[in-house]
Amino acid sequence: MIQHHNTKEIDLEWNDDDVVPDIVYPNLDFLFQQMLYLTLQEVGASQGELILDVGCGRAIDGARLWEKGAKVIGLEPSHVMIARAKEYLGESNAQVALAQGVGETLPFKPHSFDKVMCKGALDHFFSPSKTMEEIALVLKPGGEMIVSIANFDSLGFRLAKKLYPVTKFLSPSLAKERKPWQLPPDHKYRFDYPSLRSLVKQHFEIRKTEGISLFFGLPLWGSFLSKLPRSVAYALLKTLDRLARLFPSLADVILMKCTPIRKSE
C-alpha cells in the first residue's frame, strides 16, 4: 500500500462528478456492473439484518440492500454526497438511514451490525488501517465485512505501462491524459492484492477472495470493444471476468469477504 498526498485531509465537499467519464466504453460499463452485482451478492442481505455501508455515496447500493429486507445505514463524510443521497432516496422511496462521518471513527456501538460493506471507497480514506479496526469493532461476533476495491497492480495496468511508448506514438493525444495506472487526485492510497490482504488480516480472517474483470486500462481496449457487436463484446468480457475470479492479483477489482478476529478476553 503506497501512501498518497493529503492523507490527513478529509474532503467534506467531495462529489462524484468525475467518477464516470464522458465516454463509457463497454469494458468500464461491464466493470461497474460486475463490481456492483458481485459485491451485493457477497453481502447477501436478508430480512432484518442491520448493514452498514461505509462510504455510501448516493446510497444507491444501500437502497439495493434495503430492497432485500435489510435495515441499512449509509455513512458518508461529504455533505455534498449526503445531499445527493437524500435526493436519490426521496425519489426511490428507499428507507436508508444516513449519517455523516468517517470510517476511521465510526459513530456506532460495538457489535452493532450484522454486516459492513465498503465498495470502492477504501482508497479514499486517510487511514484504511484504522477503518479496518473500527469495522471489526462494530461488527457482531460472526459478522461479515465485504470490501471491494480497485487493483492498481492489475494485469491491464501492468500491460498499459509496458505498452505506453507504443500507445503514445500511435495516439499522441493519450499522452496528455492521466495514465490509468496513476492514482486519481481524490485517492489517498494505492491498493494491490498483497497490500489489501496484509491490511485486512490485521483485524479479520479472510473467508473468500475473488477478482472482478480483466484488462481495464489496456490501451484502446475499450475502443476496440465498442466496435464489436454488443453481444460479442460482452461475451468476451464475461469470459475474461471468469478468469479474473480465479486470479484476484491480476484482476481490475479485488473483492474480499471477511469475519473479525475476536480477541480473547
Task: Identify the bridge partners of residue 146 per DSSP, sorted by sequence position.
Answer: 117, 257
Report H helices in the chain: 26-43, 60-67, 79-92, 128-138, 155-170, 193-200, 221-226, 230-246
| Count of helices and strands (H, E) across the chain | 8, 9
**Is it the case that residue 101 has pLDDT exceeding 60?**
yes
**Is it the case that residue 4 has pLDDT exceeding 50?**
no
Distance of alpha carbon 258 from alpha carbon 203, whole angstroms:
9
- For residue 121, the enclosing domain spans 24-258
Establish if 1 belongs to a structural domain.
Answer: no
pLDDT digit string (tens) for 49-100?
Answer: 999 999 999 999 999 999 999 999 999 999 999 999 999 999 999 999 999 9
Establish if 264 belongs to a structural domain.
Answer: no
Cell numbers found for residue 162: 509496458
pLDDT digit string (tens) for 207-261?
Answer: 999 999 999 999 889 999 999 999 999 999 999 999 999 999 999 999 999 999 9
Cell numbers found for residue 94: 428507499
Establish if 151 belongs to a structural domain.
Answer: yes
Cell numbers found for residue 25: 466504453
pLDDT digit string (tens) for 167-222?
Answer: 666 676 666 677 788 888 888 999 999 999 999 999 999 999 999 999 999 988 99
Query: According to the model, what pLDDT value does residue 1 have?
Result: 44
The whole model's pTM is what? Answer: 0.92
Instruction: Calculate ∠ Cα 12-113-201, nearest 5°.
Output: 80
Instruction: Calculate ∠ Cα 84-66-117, nearest 5°.
Output: 75
Establish if 14 belongs to a structural domain.
Answer: no
CA-to-CA dists, residue 93 to 54, 74, 248, angstroms = 21, 15, 36
Compute CA 122 distance to the chain's CA centroid, rounded to the nearest angstrom: 7
Establish if 9 belongs to a structural domain.
Answer: no
Neighbours of 41 (CB within 10 A): 11
Domain holding 206: CATH number?
A: 3.40.50.150
- Number of compact structural domains in the chain: 1
Establish if 202 belongs to a structural domain.
Answer: yes
**Is it the case that residue 7 has pLDDT exceeding 60?**
no
Distance of alpha carbon 217 from alpha carbon 220, whole angstroms:
8
Establish if 3 belongs to a structural domain.
Answer: no
Establish if 192 belongs to a structural domain.
Answer: yes
**Is it the case that residue 153 has pLDDT exceeding 90?**
yes
Distance of alpha carbon 250 from alpha carbon 151, whole angstroms:
8
Burial 221-260 (b: 16+ CB within 10 A, else e): bbeebeeeeeeebbebbeebbeebbeebbbbbbbbbbbbb
